[in-house]
Amino acid sequence: MIDVPAYLRRIGARVDGPPSVESLHLLHRAHAERVPYECLEIWLGRSTTVDPAESAARIIRGRGGYCYHLNGAFSEVLRELGYRVTRHVGGVQGRPEDPAGATGNHLVLTVSGLPDPQNPGGEWLVDLGMGDGLHAPLPLVAGTYRQGPFTYGLRPSEAEPGGWRFDHDPRGSFAGMDFRTAPARMPEFAGTHEFLSTSPESGFVRVATVARRDAGGTDILRGLVLTRAGDREHSLTAETERDYFEVLADVFALPLTDVTPAERAALWRRLWTAHEKWAADRG
C-alpha cells in the first residue's frame, strides 16, 4: 500500500539490514528534519483522513501533516521495514492548567524488541507528531533526556493509570503529553481528526501552523510569525505573500508544488486577514 523506497527517498534516509536501534534513530531524525508538521490542508480547504496510505502518498508528494498523518504513515513504513510498532491513544496538554490525559487528540507510537545498553527493555517512544517535540526516539524508561538544546521527561502518567507522561521542555509549545499503553487502531482517531480539521474551536483551524525539528532546535511558523528556538532565538513576520511562501520553501522544505497560484492567493488572503485580527486583538 505504501511505496517505501519512495518514502525513504523523500526523507533522505537509506537503511540496510534488519531493524536496529541505529537505523530507527536515523529514520526518525531524517523524518523530523525533512517532513514538516503542518495543517495547511485545512487552510487550503482540502479534506484529509487518518488513512496511513493516504498520508504517506501526500508526504511522498512533498507535503507533511500532523500527528495522525505523520505517525500513521511512519508506523506503516516501519512495519514494512520489519519493526515491531504499536499505535497508542494519546493526548497533548497545551498548558499546565489544561486537563491532562489521553484525550485522543494525539497518536503515539512505540517500537519494541530493540534493546541496547541504555535501554535493556528495548521499547522506544517514537513520535514525529508533536511539532517541536522529539528529534530522535526516547527509551521508554522513566528519566530525563537531553536532545540538543531541549530537556524532556518521561514518567508514569498520573492522568492515565498504567500509561506514560512526556513532559516537554519549558520552552516548548505545549506542556506535555499522556498516552495509554493499550494498542489503538487508526479508526479510533477519525472522530477527533474531524473535529481538529473542521471545528472553529480547533487550534489547527484558528492558526495555520508549520513546524520542523532539527538537531539544533525548532522552527515554528504560526500564521505569519516565524520563531526559532534552541541554538539561536529569533522571530520575524512575513510581510508579503512572497515572503511567506519563501519561508515555507526555505525553512520548512515545503514548496507547495501541489498548490495552484489561485489557491496560493486565497491562502495568503486568509492568512493576512487572520494576522490582522490577531494583531488588533493584541492591541
pLDDT digits (tens, 9 = 90+) for 26-49: 999 999 999 999 999 999 999 999
pLDDT value at 245 more than 80: yes
pTM: 0.96
Closest residue by Cα to residue 186 from 71, 66, 23, 24: 71
Contact between 208 and 39 under an 8 Å Cβ cutoff? The reply is: yes
Provide the pLDDT for residue 282.
81
Provide the pLDDT for residue 178.
98
Instruction: Give all strands (DSSP E) within 45-193, no chain letters.
Output: 84-93, 106-112, 124-126, 138-139, 143-147, 150-156, 164-167, 176-179
Q: Can you tell me whether residue 251 is helix, strand or coil? A: helix
Q: Report CA Rg, the chain.
A: 18
Per-residue pLDDT tens for 141-190?
Answer: 999 999 999 999 999 999 999 999 999 999 999 999 999 999 999 999 99
Provide the pLDDT for residue 232.
84
Q: What are phi and psi of 63, to 5 degrees?
A: -105, -175
Q: Calculate mean pLDDT across residues 84-96.
A: 96
pLDDT value at 283 more than 80: no
Q: Which residue in this structure is represented by grid cell 480539521?
A: 197
Closest residue by Cα to residue 70 from 44, 37, 104, 93: 37
Within 10 Å of residue 135's Cβ, how many Cβ atoms? Answer: 22
pLDDT value at 19 more than 80: yes
What type of residue is 81? L
Estimate to the nearest angstrom the gap between the alpha carbon of 135 and the chain centroid.
Answer: 10
Within 10 Å of residue 17's Cβ, how many Cβ atoms? Answer: 8
